[in-house]
Amino acid sequence: MTARRLPTGGSIDRGAPLAFRWAGTDLTGYQGDTLASALLGAGIDTIGSSVRLGRPRGITSAGTEESTALVQIEKPFPEPMLPATTVELAEGLAARGITGQGRLADRDDPARYDARHAHADLLVVGAGPAGLTAALAAARTGERVILADDDIRVGGSLLDYGETVEGVPGEQWAAGVLAELASLPNVRVLVRTTVFGIYDDGFVLAVEHRSDHLGAAARPGRSRERIWRIRTTTTVIATGGYERPIAFANNDLPGVMLASAAHTYLHRYAVLAGESVVLFTTNSTAYGAARALVAAGARLTIVDTRPEIPAGLDSGCRNLGIEVVTGHHVVTALGTDRVHGVTIAPRRAGGPHVAGASATIDCDLLLVSGGWNPVLHLFSQARGTLAFDERLQAFVAASEVRGFELAGLAAAESAGYDPADPFAFALHPVEGVWSIPLPADGDAGGSDTRFVDVQRDVTVSEILRATGAGLRSMEHVKRYTTLGTALDQGKTSGLLGSGVVAQELGISVAELGTTTFRPPFSPVGFAALAGADRGELYDPIRVTAIHPWHLAHGAEFENVGQWKRPWYYPLPGESLDEAVLRESIAARTMVACMDGSTLGKIDVRGADAAAFLDLLYTNLMSSLKVGSIRYGVMCGPDGMVKDDGTVIRLAEERFLVTTTTGNAAAILDWMEEWLQTEWPDLRVFAASVTEQWVTIPVVGPLSRAVVQQLAPGVDASAAAFPFMATRDAVIAGVDGRIDRISFSGELAFELNVPAWYGQAVWEAVIAAGEQHGITPYGTETMHVLRAEKGYPIIGQDTDGTLSPHDLGLGWAVSKKKPDFIGKRSFARAENTRPDRRHFVGLLPVDPEESIPEGAQIIASREVTIPMPMLGHVTSGYRSAALGSHFALALISAGRDRMGERLFAWSEGRVIAVTVTDSVLLDKEGTRRDG
């Protein structure tokens, strides 16, 4: 006989049976069951097998500390490695025990997950008698209180053991407190909610399980799990304790259970976990469980390690007919698939060693109580220190942590416990018994089966191997043996491990210490942590005002930061290469247009704006005439190029500065940093206008005709509208601005209109250009066109270690200005080395051979690694205009190597190349005026 459901009792709802499936068998449990209690109620107490040794594993606890009953959930949605003791039974649940490892779902999780923020004066973790009392006391003062508990209702241990509080049954008392809390507007009670992480300044994370228990009755769209992000002034930790096991031979067999768990299964779930019971204990707390089990009809023998037990306990047991064997150990649990008996032996006084002959007791349930550990995980996460209490044989809080209060004995007493009642609250000294010596007669077989961490299959012998190897710290023993690293994170095995090591080293547990607790307290799904921030909501997507047109015209998109930019516009059946050739030929021979709206745009104005830009840019900006544009380079104080772009002087005290797309926010911050911290006396304001303007470059020899048609009020001739000039203009009926800027080397006009009119103006450009064969082009063609002209892209061709001179932009560095950011660094010895990398062009000897980005530049065709690396390729494209592949590269002393034959190595391919100037097309700049 093993476990069975009793006909009456428990706080399950017998009027609400729940059908579930376990390992292919249909079973029934009740509302209020966990999967573990429902299985025990159905007589099933073997769950799976252990990960390393394949030994059978049963159910050892009734809560979050479970180390053996790991299940794979199959329905409603596959989820691996959940303790059966924490899975609330629901109609239609399907699960099986884990043999070895679990299995992740092979499909997307359809459930919703979300997060909420909450603020509290007091957060109470744990809704047992102490937590409820603390929450109620604070709530009555009007403080904002959050009470969180991982169980399905409040009450904590009161749900488990049938104790009374203030003279009334515990459950009834808890229900009364809950009713008062629920009536107060300043209180939020969260059940099924695990507080799993304590962070700085009262920041606490909890996960609420919201829909699994509802099954099909859950409202569609209700989130399955919710992360609570709580900010609290004070946290009360009222998380109770975990009973701990003892390491004796075969202590991992199904049918070996913590004493308190059997009590919980009996009182709360009306499940009698065994008929014929041995209780092995080191302390008085387990006697309450013994009394309850006997009252329910079990036969029970107590094996107590203590030579004598307190008088009250002794007489209490005699009255109930419980035999108590004092001064003995359980040495071995007998059985192979599950426990059927124990061998016991008298212990030698004052030590762990077994003396004398063994006796055997038959049983179908072996309960163990090695003492209790206060659950101090959250306190430890808050950097509270722990100290070993000899009386309790457990670690207790040893320091005060600002913002934290612990519920302990005083709180328990004020909640109505009577410490004088030995069954209700036994605080007699606990004996420090950790591991029992192996039996001399070899009952346990050849190998050590005294498990310390049953989930990791770590035995006493393996821990002794660690100490034998010289390890003296629990942190080291943990990592050597994997003790305490499993799903349960050593909730029951951690201190047991410390005890075993201390015993072996002949030192006190206090001296040895324990390992550090870190978040999360118990496993949290990534889906819960991600919440709603997945898929399309993972990161904001930014699109320009013309985006719908790009979509409608089949553009392929490229992600540039958060922006979606048209990459190329393939015609039906066209490849990327084919589309880019077509688009770039159009730009070089006819007319083409692109959406350049993502370009960073900053409005800089104020009486000192010109002086400020003189400090920021390497070039002189104060000499710029109103209506003119200048290309500019920005460096950091180290003299390395930070960004580039154009500066447009719109008025005497107003400039429009453009930045690279990816640097728009960073450059605005850069300006603010200098304005606020270094030059606060400068009268300058900077504001982002990136999204306010749509920018449309119209490019190519026929672009003037198109622009003239769109903006008849502007004389677009080369004489009247020179290169690097800006004009206010009415463009397709919209007030805007035209800039003569070219990022392709071709005649080009950049049309700027308020974003609201962006798509209308774009469509007008397409219509006006139709007769000239206007071709929209994307970022890939833009890159080819700019690379043919040797224009570097900051962040692609540069890496923060290049000066303007390295890039061949020395012409943009003012020699007149007394200072600007970076100037002094140009004179540093490191920056004047002749072997610095220079920005150059590369042409393959075979024009058909591509030169991949990232290829390493070497001096010989023969590759013998290691060999000197002269540089690397930063950009590589195929050029229609050059009739060849080409590349841009950073090469040591590159400008001194013009015409030199070098080799580009890429993934085993060696490409012969010739070093050229970085400007490969129209070096004289004859094309820019059309």
Partner 1 sequence: MQLIECPNCGKREEIEFHYGGQAHIAYPEDPAATTDHEWSDYLFFRDNPKGPFAERWYHGGGCRRWFNAVRDTTSYRFLAVYQPGERMPALPGTRVTR
Site residues (vs partner 1, CB under 8 A): 199-201, 203, 231, 637-638, 669, 672-673, 676-678, 680, 818-819, 823-825, 827-829
Cβ distance to partner 1 smaller for residue 472 or 828: 828
Query: Residue length, the chain?
Result: 930
Amino acid symbol at 103: R
DSSP letter for 743, please. S
Q: Could you count the other beta carbons within 10 Å of the beta carbon of residue 470?
A: 7
Sort strands 225-237 and 203-209 into parallel, antiparallel or unpaired. antiparallel
CB of 808 to partner 1, least distance (A): 24
Instruction: Mark out the alpha helices in 734-788 (DSSP H runs).
Output: 758-769, 779-788
In whole angstroms, give the CA distance from residue 584 to residue 883.
Answer: 12
- Terminal Cα-to-Cα distance of the chain (whole angstroms): 97
CA angle 524-530-533, nearest 5°? Answer: 165
Of 213, 154, 162, nearest in space to 18 by CA = 213
Minimum distance from CB of 134 to partner 1 (Å)? 24
- Give yes or no for a contact between 360 and 343, defined as CB atoms under 8 angstroms apart: yes
Cα 380 from Cα 241, distance rounded (Å): 14
Tokens 């992000």: give the residue: 229
Q: What are the tokens at 450?
A: 């005294």
Structure tokens at 171: 């459950």
Torsion of CA 511, 515, 521, 525, to 10 degrees: -170
Burial 217-236 (b: 16+ CB within 10 A, else e): ebeeeebbbbbbbbebebbb
Q: How many CB atoms lie within 10 A of CB 753?
A: 27
Backbone angles phi, psi at 170, to 5 degrees: -55, -45
> Of 71 and 686, which has the nearer Cβ to partner 1?
686
Residues whose CB is less than 8 angstroms from the CB of residue 382 and which lie 6 or more positions away in sequence, other chains included: 198, 235, 401, 403, 404
Phi, psi of 68 (to 5 degrees): -125, -35
Q: Are 254 and 46 in contact (CB under 8 A)?
A: yes
Nearest to 659 by CA among 648, 644, 640, 673: 644
- Cβ neighbours of 241 (radius 10 Å): 17
Per the CB < 8 A criterion, the answer to whether 739 and 647 are in contact is: no
Give the residue from 210, 227, 268, 223 showing the smallest Cα distance to 90.
210
Tell me, what DSSP letter sits at residue 608?
T
* Distances in whole angstroms, Cα of residue 294 to Cα of each of 299, 702, 798: 6, 100, 79
Q: How far is it, in rounded angstroms, from Cα 719 to Cα 706? A: 17
**CB–CB of 755/762 below 8 Å?**
no
Contacts of 107 (CB under 8 A, 6+ apart): none
Cα 912 from Cα 902, distance rounded (Å): 6
What is the DSSP track for 509-523? HHHH--PPP-S-SS-
Minimum distance of partner 1 from residue 679's CB (angstroms): 8
Q: Give the CA radius of gyration of the chain.
A: 38
802: buried, middle or exposed (CB in 10 Å: 19+, 13-18, 0-12)? Answer: buried
167: Cβ contacts below 8 Å, ≥ 6 apart: 416
Contact 121, 188 (CB under 8 A): no
How far apart CA 376 and CA 387 sit, in angstroms, is 11
Q: How far apart are CA 930 and CA 66, in angstroms?
A: 79
CA gap 351, 436 in Å, rounded: 10
The one-letter code for the residue type at 345 is A
